[in-house]
Structure 1
C-alpha cells in the first residue's frame, strides 16, 4: 500500500508540475498579476506618486495615457518600460501587462478591461485584477472598442472594421470601407458607426459616413473637398463635429470649414468658415457645448449647440495643442506650447467657465499631447513628453 500511495503521490506531483509548466508556457495574459497597493487618491494618499506643485505623477517620462474608464476610477497607460499599466485611482493598486502595445478597452459599466492579443481577446475584472475569460477571434487591428451596451466589440484595421459578439467572439459585422479610414465612433444605440474616410488623388474627397451595423446600410454621408479633416462625435451621439481644410500649402492663410452634423443622418445643422486652422476640438460631457481653438486668432471659442451661438471666447498667448471640457461643462483645460512651435516650452491652464476666470496655470518644459478630465469630475489627466500627471480639481470647486 505504501508503494501504491507513493506512486499516487508521485503521479499527482508530476501532473501538478506539468500543469504548472503548461501555464507558464501559455501567454501571460491569463496570469493573475501581483497587485501593487498604491494608496488612495481620493483620500489624498500618495504612495506610488510624486506630488509636485499640485500635480501627482502617475507615470514618468516615456509613459503615455491610453484610456479612461467611464466612471473615472481606472485608467491604462504605456508605462514606458515595456509594460501597459492599469491603475485603480480609487483603491490605489496597479497591475502591468507585458509586452506593451496590445489594444485595450474598458467596458461601459467599468467592471471589465478587455485586452486584444494575437488571436483572442482576454477580459479582466477591474476590482480584483483577476482574469475572467477570453474569446477567440481573428487577428485584431490597432484599436479596440466596446459598443455602448457592452454586447459587442469593435476591432479596427487599416481599411475596415470587424464587429464581434462579446460572449462568443463570433463575427457580427465586417465593414470593408474601400478607402483609408481615420477615426471611428460607436454611437450610444450600439447599432451605428460614424466613420471618417479619406480618398486619394485629384478631386478626391474626405467624407463622414454613418453605417448601420445590423443591416449594413449607409444611413448618412457628408462629403468635403478638403484634404485634411478632423472628426469628433458628442458623448450622446447627437452631434458630429467636422473640421476640414487643406494642408497642401502649409503656412499660408487658408479658409477652414467647421460643420456640425446631425448624428442620425449627417444632415448639416450649423456651418462656420474660419480664417485659419482649428488646432483642437472638444465636446462637453452633456453634449451641450463644443470648444474649438483657432490658431490665427489665438482664441478658444465655446459654442452652444442648442442654438449655434458662441457663448464665450478665451484669449490664449501660446499655440494650443489640445483642449478638454469637464463632464459638467464647468472647466476648460488647455495644453499649449510657444508660438514658435517649440514643443519644449508651454503650459497647462484650467479655466472656470462659470466664473469666467483662469483657476490654474503651470509652465511645463516638456510637450503635452493630451489632456482629459475624469468623467467623475475629480481630476484632470495630462499626458505627454513629461509623463502622465493627475491634477485634482477639488480646490477649484470651492
Structure 2
C-alpha cells in the first residue's frame, strides 16, 4: 500500500501501526506513543463534530432569522397593500360625482392591489354607477346628437366632442362676430350664431357664412328644426324663419316656449301662463291646442322624433298631445307626490331617438318615462339640484345634461339598462323563471300555451314545451335544485302538473294522481327526489302533498298551519308562504323567527343548506340559520315587496330584487355590497347566479340583465365601461406609494 504524503509523525506512526508494521510485538514506549496518538485523533474528531454542529446551528438560526424577516416583509407588504387598497377604494368613492371614469379605474386598481372588502364594494359600485363622465365645459349649445358642443363668444366658435373631450374644430372671430349663443340644425350642417341683436348662419363644418344676416333679432334657436328656426325680435315678438327666405314664415306675439318638429312641419308656441298656438307650417294652418287654464305654468314643450306628439311639461305632470287629432295622446305622465317644477326651458325635455322614452328634468332629479304605458322607470339625482338642458346621445344608451350654474359641465349618464330592446324574443308579457344554475330561463306567456326554454348565455331559444292540454290563463313553473327537471302547473286548476327533462325537452312520466290533486307544484326537496304539490279544496283551503319522484306516488300530506309550502329545507323542515316553519311529518312548529308574510316566491336556500333567505312584503330581506331557525340578519331593501332572492354558488353573496333595482348583500353581516344595480324596469320575476358568478335577473317583458360578480370578471367589465386604462400619471397622482401596475388587461 502506498504511504500517504504530507502527513505528520503521529499520523505516519498510526498508519504504520495499522498497515505497515512487520513485527507484531510493541514495546511499552511504542504502545504508549500509539495510544496517545489515538486519543488525540479522537479528541480532534469530537472537536470537529462540535464545531460543525455549532456552525450548523448558527446557520439554522441565521436561516430562521432570514425566514422570519422574509415573512415579516411579506406581512408588512400585504398590510401596506391592504391599507393602500382601502385608501384607493375611498378615493374612488369620493370621485364618483366629479370624475366617474377615474373612479371606475381606481376601484379596479384597488382590487388588483389587494382583494379587501372595501375594494370589492368599490368594484361593484363601478358596475352600478350610472354616471360615466363629467366634461368641464364652457357655456354653449349641446347639439341634437347629444355629444357635440358648440361654444361661441367674441373670440370665435369652438366645437367639442363631449364624449372624447376633444376639440373638433374652431372658427375665427371673423366668422362668429360678437356672438354669445349658438344653435345647430338637427342635421348638424347649419350653425346659428346670435348676438348684438343680429343672427348669422354659417356652415357648421367650415364656418363659412351662409347668406345675409338677420337684423333686430335678440335671440334665435333651431330647436329640432333642420331648415326652420325661431327667433325673438327686439319688440318681443316671436318669429319663425326658413333658412334662405327673406321674410318670416310666422310673426306672432310674445311666447316663452317655442318648438319646431323634426322635419320642420309643425311649430308650437306656448306662453308660461297657458296661451298656446300650434301650426302646420306646410299649410300655414293653425291646429287645435289643449285647453289650459290661465296660470297653467307651462315649463317646457318638445315634439317627439316623429313629430306626431307634443310633450307639454306643466307644474306637476307632462301632457302628451296628439298634434294631428288635436286630442290628448294618452293620460299625462304624473308621478305620485311629484314636486312642482321650478325651472323653465324647452331643453328640460328630451325624447330618445326612437321616441319610446322621455326624460324630464324635475326638482332634484331627472325622471325617465316609458311613453307607451306611462311608466316611470328610473330617476337620476342631480348633484346641484338643477339642470339647464338634457339630451340623449344618438347611440340611444347615454343621457347627458348640462349643469345649471358655473362652473359648467356636461354629465354623461348610462341609461342602457332601461332603454335596450327586449333581450329574448318580441316584447310581450311573460312569466319568467330562471333555473338555479342560472343557465336556462323558462318563459310562459298569458294565456299559457307553451313554455319557452332559453339558453341565457347565448340568448338562444332551446325549444318549447306544451304548457297544458287545454289553454290556461297562466302556468306556474319551478326547476329542480340541479336544474335538470322542470315542473309545469297550468292555472287555474284543476289541471295535471307535468314534469319535463330540461336537457332533452322530453316529457317525463306523470305523477300517479288519479284524484287530480297535483295541481300546483310548490317546491322540490334539496336532493330533488321529492316534489311538493298542492291543491285547493272547495273550502278554499290549500292542501300540500309530497310526491316521491322515483315511484311517482304520493308520500302523504304535509301538516302546515296556513298557506302552501314554499321551500323544503334540510332537517325535514318546510317553510310555508305565511312565513311559518314546521317539522315534517309531525307538523310541529320549528324554532324560527318569522319575518312576516313572504312575498311572491321570494325564498332561497344557500347551496350548502346552512342558510335560508326570504323576502317579505314590507321590502325587507331576512337571513336565518336553516338548522336552528335563528335569524342572522334583517335588512331593508326598499318600500316595495321583494320579488326575488338568490344566493351565489359559493354562498358569499345574496341578491334581492324589487322593480327596477337589485341589491347585493353579505348574507351573514347584512352589509350591503355596493350601491343598487339597475334591474328590469317591470316586475323583477327571478334571480339566479351561474357557476361563473354572473348574476342573472329576468323581468316580465322578456327582459334579462346580467352582472359579473366574480371579481376578475367584474374588473374586466369595469374597464370596458371606463373605455380606457389607468395611466401612469393617474397612478402616481392617486397611488404614489406603490409602483405602477397594469389594471386593465
Distance 1:72 1:379 in 2: 8
Q: Please state how far the C-alpha of 1:155 moved relative to its aligned partner.
A: 0.8
Are 1:129 and 2:505 matched, yes or no?
yes
- Which residue in 2 is equivalent to 1:305? 667
- Cα shift at 1:163: 0.5
CA distance in 2, matches of 1:143, 1:397: 40
Q: CA deviation at 1:192?
A: 2.5
Written as runs of structure 1 = structure 2, the 5 A alignment for 1:1-398 is: 57-80=423-446, 82-89=448-455, 92-97=461-466, 98=468, 99-100=471-472, 101-116=474-489, 120-137=496-513, 138-157=516-535, 158-179=541-562, 181=563, 184-187=566-569, 189=570, 191-197=572-578, 207-213=579-585, 215-223=586-594, 230=599, 232-236=603-607, 237-241=609-613, 259-270=622-633, 277=639, 279-280=641-642, 282-285=645-648, 286-290=650-654, 302-306=664-668, 308=669, 310-312=671-673, 314=675, 333-335=677-679, 348=680, 367-370=682-685, 372-373=687-688, 375-377=690-692, 380-384=696-700, 387-391=701-705, 398=716
Partner in structure 1 of residue 263 of structure 2: none
Alpha-carbon displacement from aligned partner over 1:304-363 (angstroms, at most 9, x marks no partner): 334x2525352x6xxxxxxxxxxxxxxxx433xxxxxxxxxxxx5xxxxxxxxxxxxxxx
CA distance in 1, matches of 2:684, 2:658: 17
Match in the other structure for 1:253: none
Bigger radius of gyration among the two = 2
Structure 1 397/84 Cα, relative in aligned 2: closer, same or farther at 3 Å?
Answer: farther
TM-score (norm 2): 0.31
Q: Which runs of 5+ in 1 are unaligned?
A: 1-51, 198-206, 247-255, 317-332, 336-347, 349-363
Change (3 A) 1:264 1:383: same
The answer on whether the counterparts of 1:240 and 1:261 sit within 8 Å (CA) in structure 2 is: yes
Shift of 1:134: 1.9
Q: 1:212·1:218 contact (CA, 8 Å) conserved in 2?
A: no
Quote the Cα distance in structure 1 between the aligned partners of 2:559 and 2:699: 33
1:144 CA displacement: 3.6
Cα separation, partners in 2 of 1:190 and 1:57, compared to 1, 3 Å = farther
SS of 1:58 mapped into structure 2: coil
Q: Does the C-alpha gap of structure 1 residues 389 and 396 become closer, same or farther in structure 2, counting only changes over 3 Å?
A: farther
Query: Residue 133 of structure 1 aligns to a residue in which SS?
Result: coil
Q: What per-residue deviation string (whole Å, max 9, x for no partner) do you get for residues 257-296 of structure 1? A: 7654321132233456x6984643734313333456899x
Q: Secondary structure at the match of 2:593?
A: strand
Root-mean-square deviation over aligned CA pairs: 4.2
CA contact (8 A) 1:62 1:80 kept: no
Q: Is the 8 A contact 1:293 1:299 kept in 2?
A: yes
CA distance in structure 1 between the aligned counterparts of 2:430 and 2:531, rounded to whole angstroms: 24
CA contact (8 A) 1:165 1:172 kept: yes
* Cα distance in 1, alignment partners of residues 577 and 432 from structure 2: 21
Unaligned runs of 5+ in 2: 1-417, 536-540, 717-745
Which has a greater percent of helix? 2
Q: 1: distance between equivalents of 2:485 and 2:637?
A: 45
Whether the 8 Å contact between 2:696 and 2:706 is mirrored in structure 1 is: yes
Q: CA deviation at 1:381?
A: 4.1
Tell me the secondary structure at the aligned position of residue 232 of structure 1: strand
More strand by share: 1
Q: CA deviation at 1:86?
A: 2.7
In structure 2, relative to structure 1, the CA distance for the partners of 1:169 and 1:120 (3 Å cut) is farther
How far the C-alpha of 1:174 sits from its partner, in A, is 1.0
* SS of equivalent to 1:222: coil
TM-score (norm: length of structure 1): 0.54
Distance 2:621 2:448 in 1: 40
Residue number in structure 1 paired with 2:246: none
The answer to whether the Cα contact below 8 Å between 2:620 and 2:638 also exists between their aligned partners in 1 is: no
- Summarize the Cα distance change of 1:103–1:140 in structure 2 as closer, same or farther, 3 Å threshold: farther
Higher relative contact order (CA 8 A, sep 6+): 1
Aligned-partner Cα distance in 1 for 2:477–2:587: 26
Q: How many residues of Structure 1 are paired with residues of Structure 2 in the alignment?
A: 272
Inter-CA distance 64–294: structure 2 relative to 1 (3 Å threshold): closer
Kindly provide the CA deviation profile for residues 24-56 of structure 1, in whole angstroms up to 9, marking residues without a partner as x: xxxxxxxxxxxxxxxxxxxxxxxxxxxx97665
> Any idea what SS the aligned residue of 1:71 has?
coil
